[in-house]
Amino acid sequence: MIRVFLVEDEIAMREGIRNRIPWRENGIDYCGDAGDGELAWPQILEKKPDIVITDIKMPFMDGLQLSRLIRRELPDVRIIILSGYDEFEYAQEAIQIGVTDYILKPVMPEEMLERIRKLAEKIEEEKKQNEARLDWMLEETRERREINRRKLFKALASGGSSTGQILKLCEELKLRIAAACYQILLVSVRKTEGALDPEYATSVANALLTITDLYEGCCLFEHGIDSYAILVSGNSQEELDSRREKILEQVSASIKATAGAHYFISMSQPVRRLSELHRAYREANRVFACRYFTQPDQIIGAENAIHVLPLTGDQQLINTDNMLRNDNLRTLWDRFLRTGAADEAPDVVEGVFSTIGDVNTQSIVFLNYLLIDVYLTMGRFLKKLGREPKEVDGKCGDINSVLGSLQTVDDAKRYLTAYMQEVLKIRDGSVSSRNSRLLQEAVAFIDGNYADEEMSLSVAAKAAGMSPNRFSTAFSQEMGMTFIEYLTRKRIESAKELLMTTDLRSSEIAYRVGYRDPHYFSATFKRIQGESPREYRMRGRGDDANRK
């Protein structure tokens, strides 16, 4: 609702305007009045009205003096001057100050209301334009921030960046992580049934981001399929421990609050240097492999990583009947093939073998059974991808020849690890191909709807069936530019064509290519083209006609 403040020294005039105009019925909030500029000024500063109506001749501080203060301190406030003096010098000075309207007394309530309504409509439209511009700038900032987050995580996890490079990325993110000690947490989120859908994945990411943003020096990163990494830092071990425990408590509670959702969290040992974080990440990642063979809702640190599926101590002989009926391992392998990463394969294989027991793994009969079972599980998974096991057999060996030469448990581990890594490469390639197809469809969707002012990263991600973060990552990798950059270029290219082929004003062209705010369109056009829309049109047409 538009807010109006009146400054008028004539009591009858002030009361007449206040009481004879139906403000509320016309969607206007009459937020106060005063008898002169000196009394009005502190109230205007406090109430910040959209429109100030002020008499020009008043004691203590006249309307022109008040208008100068308003223009200087509250430049967005619109000013309507009331004057009983039909003299050009007042109007001229008011125009120089930047007064919006100038009304001669006496003025009828109907005329006053009509002037205010027209001005209110203009203010509302500009507010909408400013909101759209702010939304666009915030979305652009968020997308750029996510890209920088991914760069920072890669730098921290790989160990291939210097401390100076890491701190520069942190500076771009306005993230202060310089501290006495650090720790890496890896968080897996999964549902009891099925994978996380894009909408739920987005809500999880937003919830975790809200939690980590509460603590200085902490940062959330996307880690993999349905998993996240959290960097925790502290200026002392005590502060780090306190932050970590609070984050763990809030993260686990947030995930458990959702029906059918479970978590697994692994923790590295604390380190004291940024340059040691890649070691901490590898340590946390090794423990993270335990999520495939533990009960859900576990928090496990590197110092006490255990497997939760060992056989009982008195089980000394192979029980093939139990093995044939037990689907735990098949479920484990299948879930790992769907959501795991190739670099986790050695740890997962090692972890599973440690849960089976030495007596079983020393039996060639058992190892043959295990290899066949896992091989068939991987074969079924490949079939679902539309691929054939023979593609991997050629690289890792035919199952029959492998069984014929199998001698030790290490032979079985090596074969399963290599085979799984090849299957995961095929899966990732299929996912990449599927993402490419989805992105091609998304690009076609953007190309067909770029002029829609509601077009956004979220809208395009929904059309592609991805979460906004996942879509942003895939889009920038596939297209070599961010979604915002692509959409902006598309709109500007269309605007250039309209500038050359029509006589539309630049403000009309702005609306046609998806911009609510013509000023923002002009600024964006100049940033990309190096010249204003008008200059581009004049140069392209070879004339100096005054076109806008």
Instruction: Of 237, 293, 244, 235, give the one whose Cα is nearest residue 264.
Output: 293
Whole-number Cα distances in Å, 298 to 120, 256, 264, 543? 58, 12, 5, 72
**pLDDT score of 85:** 64
Please count the helices (runs of H) and the strands (runs of E) in the chain.
23, 10
Using one digit for the tens of pLDDT, what is the confidence trace for 321-344? 444 444 567 777 888 888 888 888
d(CA 382, CA 338): 11
d(CA 522, CA 518): 6
Whole-number Cα distances in Å, 94 to 40, 64, 153, 384, 500? 18, 7, 57, 75, 39
DSSP bridge pairs for 104? 83
**pLDDT score of 491:** 94
Q: In what order do the strands lie in the sheet with 2-7?
A: 28-34, 2-7, 51-55, 78-83, 101-104
Contact predicate 52/71, CB 8 Å = no
Q: Cis peptide leading into 106, omega within 30 of 0?
A: yes
In this predicted structure, the answer to whether residue 195 has a pLDDT above a threshold of 80 is no
Using one digit for the tens of pLDDT, what is the confidence trace for 345-355? 888 888 777 76
Instruction: Of 380, 472, 470, give the one whose Cα is nearest residue 427.
Output: 380
Domains and CATH numbers, the chain: 2-107 (3.40.50.2300), 176-304 (3.30.70.270), 309-435 (no CATH), 436-541 (1.10.10.60)
* Mean residue pLDDT across the chain: 83
- Structure tokens belonging to residue 120: 């209110």
Q: Residues 6 or more apart from 518 whose CB is under 8 A from it? A: 129, 506, 507, 510, 511
d(CA 357, CA 359): 6
Taking residue 25's Cβ as centre, other Cβ atoms within 10 Å add up to: 8
Q: Is the pTM of this model over 0.85?
A: no
d(CA 17, CA 8): 10
**pLDDT score of 7:** 93
**pLDDT score of 185:** 95
Contact predicate 424/335, CB 8 Å = no
**pLDDT score of 314:** 37
- Per cent of the chain over pLDDT 90 is 25
Using CB atoms within 10 Å of the CB of residue 152, give its burial: 0 to 12 exposed, 13 to 18 middle, 19+ buried. buried
Among 362-371, 424-433, 482-491, which range has the highest average pLDDT? 482-491
In this predicted structure, the answer to whether residue 311 has a pLDDT above a threshold of 60 is no
- Tell me, what DSSP letter sits at residue 271? B
**pLDDT score of 482:** 87
In this predicted structure, the answer to whether residue 371 has a pLDDT above a threshold of 80 is yes
**pLDDT score of 305:** 58
Using one digit for the tens of pLDDT, what is the confidence trace for 95-109? 777 788 888 777 888
Contact predicate 499/534, CB 8 Å = no
Please give the distance of CA 407 from its chain centroid, rounded to a whole number: 51
In 35-143, the DSSP E strands lie at: 51-55, 78-83, 101-104
**pLDDT score of 324:** 40
Band (pLDDT 50/70/90 cuts) for residue 29 is: very high
In 225-289, the DSSP E strands lie at: 227-234, 261-267
Pairing of the two strands 2-7 and 51-55: parallel
| Average pLDDT for 509-516 | 90
- Which one has a higher pLDDT value, 3 or 323? 3
Band (pLDDT 50/70/90 cuts) for residue 238 is: very high
d(CA 506, CA 229): 46
∠ Cα 471 474 478 (to 5°): 135
Read out DSSP for 290-358? GGGSS-SSEEEEGGG---S-PPPTT--S--HHHHHH--HHHHHHHHHHHH--GGGHHHHHHHHHHHH-H
